[in-house]
Every structure is written in C-alpha cells, then in structure tokens.
Amino acid sequence: MNYKLLLDTAVAAGELMLENGAETYRVEDTMHRILSLSRLQTAEVFVTMTGFVATLDDPSIHSMTVVRRITERGTNLDMIDQLNSLSRNLCSGELSLEAAARQIQDLKSHPWKPGAFLVSTPVVTAAFALTYGGTLSEAFLSAVTGFVIAVCLYACRRLKLPSFFGTLLSSAAASVLASGFLRMFPFFGNLDSVIIASIMPLVPGVAITNAVFDTLHGDYLSGTARMLEAFVTAAAVAMGIGIGLGISG
C-alpha cells in the first residue's frame, strides 16, 4: 500500500471537512478510519477546531507526520455529506485509494458560488418575518434588509475581513436601513419584527449545534471553542444592532 498517498488522502479529507464546518469528532473519526486502513502499528490523529496533526508509524517504515493549520471556516453541508460517504466507501473497500484521492481533489476544486447565497438570504429573512408572526409588508421589508446583509457578508468575504466584522457590519446596515425606512413610513410595520427577522441569517445556530455535538462526544476543547464562537457572533450581532439603532437615532 502507498502509505504516503493514504496519509495525503486522510489529510485532504480532514482539511476539507474542517474548513466546511464538520464537527471535530467527525473529522477525527473519519481521518482515523482512513489511516487505520494501513494496518500500521501507529495511526494517530489529533484534531482541534483550528488545525490537526496526523501521524503514521511502524517499525517497517519511516514515520510520517503532517500538521495542518485551518484558517478559514465556513459551512457547506454538501461537502461534509459527500466526504462522509466517500470515506465510508473507502473503508468498506468499495472504492480504491487512488479513486478516493482523485475524488477528493475534485471536491477541493469546487468553487463557492455566491449566487445561491445572494438569492436565498432575502428569502430566509422574509420567511422568518412570517415565522415570528409578522405581516406581509414587514416580510417584504425584511427581504430588502436581507439582501443588504447578503451583499455586506459577500463583500466582507471578498475583502477577507474577519467574520466578526462581517456580522457586525451587516447587522448594523440592516438595522440602519430598517429603522430609517420605518421612520419615514411608520405605517409599513413594526421595527422589532423586521430587525429580528433580518438578523436570523447571522445568529450562531451552526456554532451552538456543533458546540453541543463536540462536547457530547467528549471533545471539550472544540466544544468550548465553538461555544466561545457562538458568544462572539452573538455579541457581534448585538453590537451591530446597537450601532445601527444608535446611528439612526
């Protein structure tokens, strides 16, 4: 067996999973399964939210260790699902190592498309206005603020600003817009429901869920890190609303 290719495959899979928002225990488990295919004496992985170490060792080979640092994190559940079934097929022997390595390279080269993001964020905010008992006109205004949020987030992503600023800026922009508009046309609806609906794409739902799952599987290091991420994101949203409402008086 080509141990180098095996290690590279495990590393590439782990890197993609971490970057696309998989839970830490899942990454660790997947990488460990792939490395265990080598049947070498030592096949160890240690994964945290911000990077990982993987090592293969045996009396018969020179030991190999890879360290990777993960700097960018987003959420792409499709990638996690595909890597999940890929590693399952690889471990059950349905897929050869070479084919798996090629498939992972293919997945890696998939670019992130902003189109779906720009379209669906306004739908999310409009639908949330209805979810929380708002009227149709409030839903319409929420769709407009949702589009502003999507554009802000996209711009911050392109400028490679930290996600804290992206969240802060977009919630500030949304609340300035909503309160400014409702000041001019007060009959249009209630400010509370518009702002609550607009911030829903920004709230740390992913971080809370992953924090719980990581903590549950005994990965307290990542669990606390994600909890902190949730608090920081929530603080950014809250500060953004505060700034926005402050500016518009």
Partner 1 sequence: MLLQILGSFLAVVAFCFILNTPRRHILFAGLTGAAGWALYLVLGSRGLNTGVATFFSGCLVSLCGQLLARVLKTPVTIFVIPGILPLVPGAGMYHIVDSMLRSDSMTSYYVTQTLVAAGMIAMSIIVMDGLFRLFFKNHIYKGDSYVDR
Residue from 117, 154, 164, 165 in contact with partner 1 (CB under 8 A):
117
Starting at the earlier edge strand, list the strands of the sheet with 42-48.
Answer: 42-48, 51-58, 61-69
Q: How many helices (H) and strands (E) does the chain have?
A: 10, 3
Residue from 35, 43, 103, 128 in contact with partner 1 (CB under 8 A):
128
| Angle subtended by helix axes 97-108 and 77-92, to nearest 10 | 170
- Contact status: 151 vs partner 1 (CB under 8 A): no
Q: Quick count: other Cβ atoms within 10 Å of Cβ 98? A: 11
Between CA 219 and CA 217 the distance in angstroms is 6
| Stretch touching partner 1 by CB under 8 A, among 50-58, 100-108, 116-124, 180-188 | 116-124
Number of residues that this document lists for the chain: 249
Nearest to 196 by CA among 166, 213, 215, 171: 171
In the complex with partner 1, which residue's Cβ is closer, 64 or 127? 127
In the complex with partner 1, which residue's Cβ is closer, 78 or 98? 78
Place of tokens 């640092």: 69
- Contact status: 79 vs partner 1 (CB under 8 A): yes
Residue from 81, 94, 98, 106 in contact with partner 1 (CB under 8 A):
81
Q: Cα angle at 125 between 123 and 129, to 5 degrees? A: 115
- Contact status: 204 vs partner 1 (CB under 8 A): yes
Smallest separation, CB 124 to partner 1 (Å): 4
Under 8 Å between Cβ of 123 and 132: no
Smallest separation, CB 136 to partner 1 (Å): 9
| Stretch touching partner 1 by CB under 8 A, among 59-67, 80-88, 154-162, 181-189 | 80-88
Distance of CA 131 to the CA centre of its chain: 24
In the complex with partner 1, which residue's Cβ is closer, 37 or 211? 211
- Contact status: 116 vs partner 1 (CB under 8 A): yes
Beta 51-58 vs 42-48: how paired, if at all?
antiparallel
Residue from 31, 40, 90, 129 in contact with partner 1 (CB under 8 A):
129
Instruction: By CB under 8 A, name the binding residues for partner 1.
Output: 22-23, 25-26, 29, 75-82, 84-85, 88, 116-117, 119-121, 123-124, 127-133, 139, 192, 195-196, 199-201, 203-206, 208-213, 216-217, 230, 234, 237-238, 241-242, 245-246
